[in-house]
Amino acid sequence: MRIWELIYGGVLDILFPQKCVFCGKLLDGEPDICGKCRGAMEKFPELPPNTKPDGKSRLQFLDSFIAVWYYKGKVRDGILGLKFRYRVDYALPLGRSVAMKVLREQGTGFDAVTWAPVSALRRLRRGYDQSQLLARTVGKELGIPVRRLLKKQRHTPAQSRLTTEGRRANVLGAYCFAGKQSVAGKRILLIDDVFTTGATAEECARVLLTAGAKSVSCAAVAAAPGHSDK
Ligand SMILES: [Zn+2]
């Protein structure tokens, strides 16, 4: 089976050569994103345990937090493209990069991968949920089942113009547990696109812990410490 997959993949590479998702340049062995684009994407550092992206504040409900890049430049363009310009093809390279970082810094000891969902209204308008697409890629890359565990039960105003306190109030009670099976004793990996103050991810973690989860860790494509553009 494996050999046929390799041959098939090789034929596909010849017929449809792999191109950088961001600039369209032909790739030379590197995965998904060319060296030049990758070089322009500023890596987010590994944080001390239990710390928010600002490097100082403590996480409240989340066990750990990681992000691949800073939310700026090409990374910001990519995420905005995925969210608002139907660039669903960005979910694969961005999700794969998240999976690599999870593997390096958080390990694979998770029972399920889930995501912070958009509201039903937003999903209907957009046609997809970008964080679900990212979570699917991460789960597939790491071999961890992807489960829909959360539902956004009310539409919330955009977080962008709110203060940290305002953001927390804005999302409080916005999500409810929606898993088909119990999460009692399970270790959950929560995937998000951008982690700003962490209000959304922390609220999702609170709901999952209340539902019995043992721990919730968050992995995001990008972190924006001090940024307000979500
Ligand atoms: Zn490129």
Report whether pLDDT(133) > 80. Answer: yes
Q: How confident is the model at residue 102 (pLDDT cuts 50, 70, 90)?
A: very high
CA–CA separation, 100 and 107 (whole Å): 10
Report whether pLDDT(112) > 80. Answer: yes
Expressed in angstroms and rounded, the spacing between residue 34 Cα and the centre of ligand 1 is 4
Expressed in angstroms and rounded, the spacing between residue 92 Cα and the centre of ligand 1 is 15
pLDDT at 228: 45
Give the mean pLDDT of 41-45. 94
Could you give the percent of the chain with pLDDT greater than 70?
A: 90
Start-to-end CA distance of the chain, whole Å, equals 44
- CA 224 and chain centroid, separation: 13
CA–CA separation, 143 and 161 (whole Å): 38
Residue type (1 letter), 225: P
CA–CA separation, 6 and 210 (whole Å): 45
**Half-sphere exposure of residue 48: CA atoms within 13 angstroms, side-chain side:** 6
Cβ atoms within 10 Å of 150's Cβ, excluding its own: 23
Expressed in angstroms and rounded, the spacing between residue 103 Cα and the centre of ligand 1 is 24
pLDDT at 135: 98
pLDDT at 13: 62
Expressed in angstroms and rounded, the spacing between residue 153 Cα and the centre of ligand 1 is 38
Report whether pLDDT(229) > 50. Answer: no
Give the mean pLDDT of 59-75. 94
pTM of the model: 0.87
